[in-house]
Chains A and B, each alone.
Chain A
């Protein structure tokens, strides 16, 4: 199972890198979103994908699931959500100001 998910992470990273390298700003932003999904999956996989009971003492189970990666992912999701929404607003403002979302065109604004 871990191997499968790791391969999936690799595929997601490939897709994200492809998007990041494109010239359209919106694609770049989507790329960062996919990139963060990939790392969330990686965090989950690194904690070990085992079937276990809820990590509470009263459960008296053989195995317990590791709760820490899930807490980490939750935090990371919130952060990447905030950053992505900020980036989208920024892209919109940039488009309104400059009339372009093409990163190659946007390079020229050294001075106003």
Chain B
């Protein structure tokens, strides 16, 4: 294992979340296309998302999208201001805190039905 800094972790997670969201996007397009076959077909397709085990996955999806968006913002800050590279570690930790601040309420809203139905 190469002991990289936060940048290496951020990069690996960016790729991982990017691929994960892309896979879901393809699934989402197929499932939405069931609209063309009428209410029964579409509601049947949506039943997948109403399984109790899908809730955590749905939360992971939102977490992945928000991470990808947040880290993408950091990347763009580095692109627009090459001098910002000097403060990358600060940028990373500010981003991590902001991510936590956003994700805690989202987790509460999305996962509460699981704990207290």
Query: Do A and B truly interact?
Result: no
